[in-house]
Structure 1
Amino acid sequence: MDLIQAIIIAIVEGLTEYLPVSSTAHMIFTSSIFGIQEDEFVKMFQVSIQFGAILAVVFLYWKKFFDFKNFNFYIKLAFAVLPALVLGKLFDDKIDEVLGNPIPITVVLVLGGVVLLFIDKIFKNHTIHDEKEITIKKAVIIGFWQCLAMMPGTSRSAASIIGGMQQKLTREAAAEFSFFLAVPTMLAVTVYSIFLKKFNYLGIEQKGYEMLMQGDNLKLFLLGNVIAFIVAVIAIKFFIGVIKKYGFKPWGWYRIIAGIALLVYFTWFK
């Protein structure tokens, strides 16, 4: 992966991490078009630059994250993230198998788009407008919904937002809680990929941080996180504005059109 490819993938991550369109799918499609998806460092890079996108949420909602008097907030996030931590570890190998094949991911992208077209009609009775009204039980249920995103193409953001709306959260409240839940979830995934998971890089089994110490990898990693952070800040503000005004239909149509176009591309031209 060269510098330009790393920058483009980081921009894609920042744009899509908090939108209900699947950042993982978009990064896989991008790296597949570049012909670098099978590279182990690229796979680790795509996961680890989510750390930059995580910081965007902390930056924008810093009053929430550093309000230590509201200890229940941290408890809710801790319970909500548990399902993803447990199931993510159990199905890690299965997830890796899917990551190398863009075809099923495009199908999931389209199916998820169809769901988003009707989600506002399915979950209409919203009674929860603020994070403080979310109980631990509701947080855990949303956490299980988030686990649907273990299938690349589903979208962690979409799954957790739908879970929030199913638990009576308004669109805006569900989106914001999805942002909050992304922080411990993506932080755990990033730490696991860098310090615990082993990759077969250049014919040698090694951990993520060992790959970072080779060549220009560390430079690409740092640059990728900075770019993902800046772009994610812009994307989050944009997304909240769109769902307030238009709901989820625009994202549903985007997923369907993009998914079909990419399915044609990977089926006939790749």
Structure 2
Amino acid sequence: MSTIQAIILAIIEGLTEFLPISSTGHMVLMSSYLGIENDKFTKLFEVCIQLGAILAVVVLYWKKFFDFSKWQFYVKLALAVVPALIFGKLFDDLIDEHLGSPVFIATVLLVGGIILLFVDNWFKNPVITEEPDINNVTAIKIGAYQCLAIMFPGLSRSAATIIGGMQQKLSRSLAAEFSFFLAVPTMTAATGYKLLKFISDEGSITGDQIKLLAIGNVVAFIVAVLAIKFFITILNKYGFKYFGIYRIIVGIVILALTVGSH
């Protein structure tokens, strides 16, 4: 992987991490286009730079994230992340090996886009508008939706958890905010796990690889800061439908190009 390739992937990650269009799906597709999709470091890079994007949440919402007087908030995040940690550990190798093809991701993008066209009409009457009103059981249920994103690359972790939150009667804006916060422990754990697994398999990580990871995380962080503000504005004003249309178009284009090339 070159520095330019790392920057391209990081920009894509920063732009798409918090949008319900799948950052992983976009990065896998781009790495395939760049011809580096089968490199083990690429798979590590695609996970680790998500942490840089996620840290944008910590900076933008630092007052809420570091309000240690509300310890229940941290308990809910800890409980919510458990299903994804267990599921990810059990099925990590299977997902990496079999579910990362462009056709599979394009299909998931397409189906997910169709779902997003109707989500706003499905959940019109939220009853939970403030984070303290989210109980522990609800937090675990929302966290379980992350397993869908793990199982289906291209689905979008943010889309899964936001929709999960709305299904649990959270308002759209609160569901998005909780999804952002939940991403912090989720991606911290995923990054640590992938890094340790890579070192265990490869024996070490080189200085050049560390430099690429650093560059990728910084770029993803900067771009994500801007993307979060954009997403919240669009989500509150228009809902999910335009993201659904985008996913459908991208899914169809990728399927057409892939089928046409064979």
Q: Distance in 1 between matches of 2:107 and 2:135?
A: 34
Which residue of structure 2 lines up, in the alignment, with residue 251 of structure 1? Answer: 243
Alpha-carbon deviations, 1:211-238, whole Å to 9, x = none? 2x25x21211100000000000101000
* Conservation of the 8 A alpha-carbon contact between 2:106 and 2:254: yes
Q: How far 1:99 moved relative to its partner?
A: 4.7
Q: Does structure 2 retain, via aligned residues, the 8 Å contact 1:79–1:136?
A: yes
Unaligned stretches of 5+ residues in structure 1? none
Cα deviation digits, residues 29-82 of structure 1 (max 9, x gap): 000001110011111001111110121000001011110000000000000000
Match of 1:169 in 2: 170
Q: Please tell me whether the aligned partners of residues 44 and 193 of structure 1 are also in contact (alpha carbons under 8 angstroms).
A: yes
Partner of 1:184: 185
The amino acid that maps onto 1:152 is P
Offset from partner CA, 1:131-184 (integer Å, 9 cap, x none): 111111110000111210011011100000000000111111100000000000
Question: Which stretches in structure 2 are left out of the alignment for 5+ residues?
Answer: none
The aligned amino acid for 1:119 is V
Equivalent position of 2:16 in the other structure: 16
Give the SS at the match of 1:91.
helix
Q: Is the 8 A contact 1:24 1:152 kept in 2?
A: yes
Distance 1:241 1:228 in 2: 20
Residue 237 of structure 1 aligns with which residue?
229
Structure 1 residue 252: deviation in Å? Answer: 0.4
Tell me the SS of whatever aligns to 2:202.
strand
Out of 199, 203, 210, which is 1:218 matched to? Answer: 210
Q: Superposition pairs for residues 85-164 of structure 1, below 5 Å?
A: 85-150=85-150, 151-164=152-165
Q: CA deviation at 1:267?
A: 2.3
Cα shift at 1:264: 1.5
- How far did residue 98 of structure 1 move? 3.1
Q: How far 1:126 sits from its partner (Å)?
A: 0.6
Identical residues among aligned pairs (%): 60
Could you tell me which amino acid in structure 2 is paired with residue 167 of structure 1? Q
Amino acid at match of 1:157: S
Count of aligned residue pairs for this structure pair: 261
Distance 1:19 1:70 in 2: 28
SS in 2 for 1:168: coil
Give the aligned residue type for 1:225.
Answer: N
Other structure's SS at 1:141 match = helix
What is the match of residue 206 of structure 1?
202
Structure 1: how far apart are the matches of 2:111 and 2:25?
A: 13
User: Do 1:54 and 1:186's aligned partners in 2 also have CA atoms closer than 8 Å?
Assistant: yes
Distance across 2 between alignment mates of 1:30 and 1:98: 18
